[in-house]
Amino acid sequence: MERPGDEHDDCRTVPLLEPKHAHGEGSNNKQEEDEEEVGSLGRRVLVESKKLWVVAGPSICARFSTFGVTVISQAFIGHIGATELAGYALVSTVLMRFSGGILLGMASALETLCGQSYGAKQYHMLGIYLQRSWIVLLCCAVLLLPIYLFTTPLLIFLGQDPKIAAMAGTISLWYIPVMISNVGNFTLQMYLQAQSKNMIVTYLAMLNLGLHLFLSWLLTVQFYLGLAGVMGSMVIAY
C-alpha cells in the first residue's frame, strides 16, 4: 500500500524547470544551429548570385560594348574637329537613343515569347517568333528612316546652328546601316538569352568592340580618312 506521504515525495523529486546542461551544452547547440543557418543562407545567396550573373553578365557586356563603340567613335571624332564632334553628339544621343529605344522595346517582347516556347519545349516556335520579329522590327525601322533622312532641316527647325545641323545630317546618314543592324542585334540577343546561350552574346560584343577600336585607329590615324573612317568602322563593327 502507498503511504500518504509518497505522493508528496514524488512531487518534490520532479523539478519544475529542466536544469541547464553542464558546460553550456544548450547554448552550444543553439550557436551551432545559428551558424548552420548563416552558412545555408550564404550558400543560397551564392547560388542565386551565380544564376543571376549567368543571365545578367552577358547583357552587361553587350551594353558595355555598345557604349564603348560610342565612346571610341566620339574620342576619334573629337580629334577631327569641334563641329564634327557636336554633330556626332547630337545624332548619337538624340536620334540613336530614340530609335534604339523603340527597337529594343519591341525586341523585348521576343524574349518573353521565346522564353515561353522554350519552357514549353515548343522549339519549332523559336525560329518562327524570331522571323516574325525581324519583319516587324524592319517595318518599324523603315518608318524611322525619315528622321535620319531629314535630320538637317529638322534640327534647323528646332533652332540648331546650321553648320552643326548640316554635319549632323551627314553623320545621320552613316547611322542608317547601324539602325538597321540593330534589328538583328536586339532580336538575336533576346533569342539566345531565352535559351540560356548568353556567352555567345558576350563573345560577339567583345569582338565588335575590339574590331571597332582597331579599324578606327587604322582608318583615321593611318589612312587619314577622317569622319568617313570612324563612321565606316562603326558600320563594319555593327
Tell me the per-residue pLDDT of 79-122, one tens digit each, with 9 for 90 and over: 999 999 999 999 999 999 999 999 999 999 998 999 999 999 99
Number of domains in the chain: 1
- Domain boundaries, position 96: 56-237
Domain-located, residue 4: no
Angle CA(67)–CA(94)–CA(146) in degrees, nearest 5?
120
Domain-located, residue 41: no
Q: What is the mean pLDDT of the chain?
A: 86
Using a pLDDT cut of 90, give the percent of the chain over it. 64
> CB count, 10 Å around CB of 154?
18
Whole-prediction pTM value? 0.78
Domain-located, residue 7: no
Q: What pLDDT, on a 0 to 100 scale, did the predictor assign at position 3?
A: 53
Domain-located, residue 149: yes
* Residue 91: HSE in the Cβ half-sphere, 13 Å Cα cutoff: 32
Backbone angle region of 218, left / alpha / beta, with phi > 0 → left and psi within -120 to 50 → alpha: alpha
Domain-located, residue 3: no
| Cβ contact 93:109 at 8 Å | no
Could you report the per-residue pLDDT of 158-188, keeping only the tens digit for each? 999 999 999 999 999 999 999 999 999 999 9
Domain-located, residue 27: no
Q: Is the dihedral of CA 205, 208, 211, 215 positive or negative?
A: negative
Distance separating alpha carbons of residues 22 and 104, to the nearest angstrom: 67
Domain-located, residue 173: yes
**Burial track 84-95 (b if 16+ CB lie within 10 A, e otherwise):** bbbbbbbbbebb
- CA separation, residue 70 to residues 21, 47, 75, 178 (Å): 69, 35, 9, 12
Q: Quick one: cell of 109? A: 517582347
Distance separating alpha carbons of residues 112 and 105, to the nearest angstrom: 12
